[in-house]
Amino acid sequence: MGGEIAQGAEWSHESSLDWHLLQYAPHQGVQRLTRDLNRLLRDEPALHELDADPAGYEWIDANDSDNSVLTYLRKSRDQKSVILVACNFTPVPRQTYRVGAPRAGFWREVLNSDAAEYGGSGLGNLGGLSTNPVPCHGRPRSLDLVLPPLSVVALRHESA
């Protein structure tokens, strides 16, 4: 209905979508983001296997109103696939936002809605980062994330 290409006009069943908008970079970026979100949802078991089961979802921190940031986990049925999601709802970049991590090791950034290819600033976690032994959110280790402004960042734990 036009959202996948950032169509400004309301959808109407009497006309086609404004496909001509795809000649402009911002609309191309939204289309790429929509494509990549759909691929991520399809390819990551943690994002679809337990949609209707509370076992597939866990809050890390739902109460950081001072920074307007939400963090949570999505998990697969076998608990092997884990995705950490951080949402920054402000125009303020967070350069070292500490988040408790459920597993030690490397977390690969699998989505950054502020990536340059989507029309964003390109600020992010350089492909991923490793946990450090600093406790946070009731967990013995944490990640120091870069949260771009007005963005969603998703990281997948890489198994050894």
Average pLDDT per consecutive 10 residues, the chain (160 residues; last block may be shorter): 83 85 86 96 96 96 98 96 97 97 97 96 95 97 98 90
Bridge partners (DSSP) listed for residue 109: 155
pTM metric for this prediction: 0.92
**CA 142/CA 57 separation, integer angstroms:** 19
Task: Give the residue among 152, 154, 153, 119 at the shortest CA–CA distance from 5.
Answer: 119
Contacts of 10 (CB under 8 A, 6+ apart): none
The one-letter amino acid code at 51 reads D
Domains of the chain in start order, with CATH, are: 3-43 (no CATH), 54-157 (2.60.40.1180)
**CA 114/CA 148 separation, integer angstroms:** 6
Contact (Cβ atoms closer than 8 angstroms) between residue 134 and residue 100:
no
Return the pLDDT at 25.
Answer: 85
Return the pLDDT at 160.
Answer: 55
Token pair, residue 116, equals 């340059």
**CA 57/CA 75 separation, integer angstroms:** 6
DSSP label at 40? H
